[in-house]
Structure 1
Amino acid sequence: MPHKKPEKVSYNIVALGDSLTEGVGDLDNQGYVGVTTKILKKETLVKKVSIQDFGHRGDTSTDLLKKLKRPEIIQAVKKSNTIFLTIGGNDLVHVFKKHFLDLHASDFSTQQKIFSVNLNQVFAEVRRLNPNAHIYYFGLYNPFEDYLGKANKDFVPILNRWNANSTTITKKYTAISFIPTSDLFKGKTDQLLYKDHFHPNKQGYAKMSGRLLDYLKKSRSSVQR
């Protein structure tokens, strides 16, 4: 029997979230979204790629919930079949800013509870608008390892807890992939972060894009043609 030719897929992508989705830190203004869409467009099994990027610097999970009420974002999400999402970094940084001189693990767990509720609501709202689009949600990395010195060993378990908790939340929903990033940046922040020591640089975003593409390939069969 002749092999059936694989069907080509079309990606109708909506990118949501914070400065990582906006691409802050990449001077070519590509970010992981730009890099990923460029590569997808060149793939032989991809028919068409469209992208709407609503990433916004400084947004927290609370901001994202408000954005999901905006008519243009509601329409975009409804029409999409693929969603990229980065959120949570600013929720975490908020704890550092608020309690900088007197940080306690309990400050992070309080904020994590708020973030968990919000992340649940974000997923629930996206699913309400679009039951089928595959969501690719990036976990958090540690941009502070060069700064925290000895305190880094106390922060790493906090970050791991946030990511483990977010992974648990993603598993409650269908068609959501949790994409780990902390291992990509660990021990390499001097090479992979922009000069602000927080956002990825071009190489950092390329690492994120490479991992996202791995996940996209895994779930390609589920993309609406």
Structure 2
Amino acid sequence: MDFNPLRYLAIGDSLTVGVGVLFLDPGFVEYYRGMSQQILKKSVFCKKYARSGATTEDVLKMLHSPSVTEAVNCADIITITAGGDDLINAAKEFLINKNEESVSHAINQSLKNYSKIIERIRHLDKQDQYILRLTNLYNPFPGIPIADETIKAFNSSINRFGLEMNVKVADLYSVFKRNERALLSKKGGVHPNSEGYYQMALALSRLGYSP
């Protein structure tokens, strides 16, 4: 009997929700929990706070709600997916006003929010006995050059958070690059399919579990 289970908290956008697979099919959260249990030889309890369309600002707001605050306090493993919707919203704005600054502003704003998110978690999780796993962004529109440039710019900044204590960033960009057809859902083509979510979980799991 495992009397000392680990607590896993997943926060984020539609990727954490698991959009793109059939209802009740596992997304990356469920796959990652299973992999973590196998590797760590411990039970892992999971809580999920996520909604489709959530931006980095929405995730930051989530972290100020009492139930999420309490969950962060107890969590040993935390994953966050955010940023994709910030860029999608900026791209829509760019198509209307043709102002490239709206895209660079969105990148800067979402990175500021990410800094605050990490700071908030560090402030709440007093023990320092937790790992925080972020994901960079894959490109669901490989045929659009400006999309690739924008995502690369975002990723080069977000990858730097991996230098912070307890934080590592999974490289989803490389996982999905040239594998879009195999890993993205046929429905909409923006979210991963079941294999895509499995590969996401694998990328997170390969980051290890120290400390």
Name the TM-score, length of structure 1 as normaliser.
0.85
1:211 and 2:203 aligned: yes
Are the structure 2 counterparts of residues 34 and 103 from structure 1 closer, same or farther at C-alpha, using a change threshold of 3 Å?
farther
Report the alpha carbon displacement of residue 76 of structure 1 after superposing the two structures with TM. 0.4
CA-to-partner distance for each residue in 1:174-218, whole Å, 9 max, x for gaps? 100011101111122222111111110101101101111111xx3
CA-to-partner distance for each residue in 1:91-126, whole Å, 9 max, x for gaps? 010012222245454322111111111111011001
State the superposition RMSD in angstroms: 1.9
Out of 178, 181, 199, the position equivalent to 2:172 is 181
SS for the counterpart of 1:100 is helix
Contact conserved, 1:61 with 1:119, CA < 8 A, in 2?
Answer: yes
The aligned counterpart of 2:135 is 138
The aligned counterpart of 1:18 is 13
**Whole-Å Cα distance in 2 between the matches of residues 99 and 84 of structure 1?**
30
Aligned residues: 205
Out of 136, 148, 157, the position equivalent to 2:149 is 157
The aligned counterpart of 1:35 is 31
Larger Rg: 1
Name the TM-score, length of structure 2 as normaliser.
0.90
Identity of aligned residues (%): 26
Residue ranges of structure 1 left out of the alignment (5+ in a row)? 1-8
The aligned counterpart of 1:197 is 189
**Whole-Å Cα distance in 2 between the matches of residues 109 and 44 of structure 1?**
40
Out of 70, 77, 82, the position equivalent to 2:77 is 82
**Whole-Å Cα distance in 2 between the matches of residues 13 and 124 of structure 1?**
19
Are the structure 2 counterparts of residues 75 and 203 from structure 1 closer, same or farther at C-alpha, using a change threshold of 3 Å?
same
Contact conserved, 1:96 with 1:103, CA < 8 A, in 2?
Answer: no
Contact conserved, 2:135 with 2:172, CA < 8 A, in 1?
Answer: yes
**Whole-Å Cα distance in 1 between the matches of residues 36 and 157 of structure 2?**
30
> 1:112 is matched by which residue type in structure 2?
I
Residue ranges of structure 2 left out of the alignment (5+ in a row)? none
